[in-house]
Structures are given as C-alpha cells and as structure tokens.
C-alpha cells in the first residue's frame, strides 16, 4: 500500500527482456539506502518487488501482464520514474490509499501553463473515467492528485510547481503515456451498489429515503 507521495525520481539503468517478462534496474539515490530484498516499491505507480540490490541500483522482475497493462514496457535507459516506498503503519497518510495496481494507461492530451500552474488533460478509457469524480483522488504515474474535471473519455488535473519539480509529470507532455489508478474506495462502492441492484438492497435504500 502507498500514499501517492513521491519520495524521489529514479533513473532507468536497464530493461532487459526475457521469457514471460523483463528485468528492470534503476538508480535510486535516497530510497535505495533503506530498501531491502523483497520490499515493495511503487515505480511510476506500479507496485514492484525488489529482487536485487547493488549499491544504489535496485532491480525488479516484470511480468508480461505488467508490461502490457502499464507504461513500464516503454521505458528506456536514462528515463526517469517516480518512486515511493511502501506505507509504514506509523507514517502520516498525506495523499490517499494507492495500491500500486494500475487500472489502465492514459495519454496526455494537452498541458497548458497559467502563471506557475499546469492544467493537464488526460485521455482514458471510459471504464476508468466512470470511477472518477470531481475533487476526488486519482493516482497518475503513482502521484496522488485531485481530479478537476471528468469527461466521458478522460479527466483533468492541476499541477503546482512543487509537484512539477519533483515528479515526472513536470516534464511529460502531450502524447506521453501515464499509468492510472482510480481510488479503490470508488471501486468498492461501485461493486457494492451493483450487487445491491441484484439483491434489492437499492430498493430498500430508496424506500427508507437513503438514496434518490
């Protein structure tokens, strides 16, 4: 479990394809110091397990599913990625609950600067947009962000200078792919209400005045 608060940007050292996946190695100046084999680390929002550590170089094994359902397979040497260690039980929850399980890959449609603030429009599949709400939370490449507008096929976010300077969203632009994870609470509510329709639960709520 993560919070969407990026600790640092790492730099890709290698991405070696192998049967049924790939081995990813990256350099992490700060996070590698405390990382250990078996630790879960969010890399561009994707929960990965440390399988090797050499100095400040961390390595991870990626499955074919991960390569196909995230932007990890598009990474090249010297690309930068957002990094976050797993949430500790005694840590402050400054963002929102992020699982590291990517729901889909979106594409930046536009990025405009007003003063020092960027407004970014991201295109997604309709199934992802359906889970988003204005002023709700969404993780973009692992960054906890607030949804501004929701469209049929995407959404918009606003990026402050601090976030732009410390994460990859600051230099990504139109056409770039980003990993999207919707708020897990919204997914559970959606499933709960969907089941309620089949069991008559929604009828009970309506009858008692709890829904409209």
pLDDT at residue 211, rounded to an integer? 55
- Residue pair 83/12 in contact (Cβ under 8 Å)? The answer is no
How high does pLDDT run on average in the chain?
91
- Indicate if 164 and 126 belong to the same structural domain: yes
Q: Which residue has the tokens 């594409």?
A: 107
- Indicate if 121 and 179 belong to the same structural domain: yes
Distances (CA, A) of 81 to 11, 36, 84, 122, 156: 6, 19, 10, 18, 21
In the predicted model, residues of the chain with pLDDT beneath 50 are none
- Indicate if 13 and 80 belong to the same structural domain: yes
Domain count, the chain: 2
Rounded Cα–Cα distance for residues 202 and 141 (Å): 35
The Cβ of residue 40 has, within 10 Å, a number of other Cβ atoms equal to 16
Question: Domain range spanning residue 44?
Answer: 8-85
Give this prediction's pTM.
0.88
Q: What is the pLDDT of residues 11-22, one digit of tens each?
A: 999 999 998 999
Rounded Cα–Cα distance for residues 41 and 35 (Å): 9
- Residue pair 158/146 in contact (Cβ under 8 Å)? The answer is yes
Q: What is the pLDDT of residues 116-131, one digit of tens each?
A: 999 999 999 999 999 9
Q: Which residue has the tokens 């890399």?
A: 43
CATH at 23:
2.40.30.20
pLDDT at residue 186, rounded to an integer? 75
Phi, psi of 211 (to 5 degrees): -145, 160
pLDDT at residue 96, rounded to an integer? 87
Is residue 174 one of the residues assigned to a domain?
yes
pLDDT at residue 120, rounded to an integer? 98
Phi, psi of 189 (to 5 degrees): -60, -45
- Residue pair 2/96 in contact (Cβ under 8 Å)? The answer is no
Q: What is the pLDDT of residues 185-208, one digit of tens each?
A: 878 777 777 765 555 655 665 666
pLDDT at residue 204, rounded to an integer? 62
Dihedral of the alpha carbons of 97, 100, 103, 104, in degrees to the nearest 10 = 130
Rounded Cα–Cα distance for residues 65 and 62 (Å): 8
Provide the token pair at 14: 């290698």
């Amino acid at each position: 479990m993560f919070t969407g608060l990026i600790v640092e940007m790492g730099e890709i050292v290698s991405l070696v394809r192998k049967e049924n996946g790939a081995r990813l190695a990256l350099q992490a100046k700060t996070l590698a110091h405390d990382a250990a084999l078996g630790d879960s680390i969010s890399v561009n929002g994707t929960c990965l397990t440390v399988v090797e550590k050499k100095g400040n170089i961390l390595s991870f094994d990626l499955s074919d599913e991960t390569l196909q359902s995230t932007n990890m397979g598009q990474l090249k040497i010297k690309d930068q990625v957002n990094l976050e260690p797993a949430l500790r039980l005694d840590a402050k929850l400054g963002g929102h609950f992020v699982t590291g399980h990517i729901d889909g890959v979106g594409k930046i449609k536009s990025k405009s600067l007003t003063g020092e603030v960027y407004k970014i429009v991201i295109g997604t599949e309709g199934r992802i947009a359906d889970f988003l709400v204005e002023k709700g939370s969404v993780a973009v490449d692992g960054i906890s962000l607030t949804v501004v507008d929701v469209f049929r096929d995407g959404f918009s976010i606003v990026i402050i200078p601090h976030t732009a300077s410390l994460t990859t969203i600051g230099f990504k632009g139109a056409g770039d792919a980003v990993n999207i994870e919707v708020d897990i609470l919204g997914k559970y509510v959606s499933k709960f209400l969907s089941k309620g329709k089949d069991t008559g639960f929604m009828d009970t709520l309506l009858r008692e005045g709890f829904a409209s």
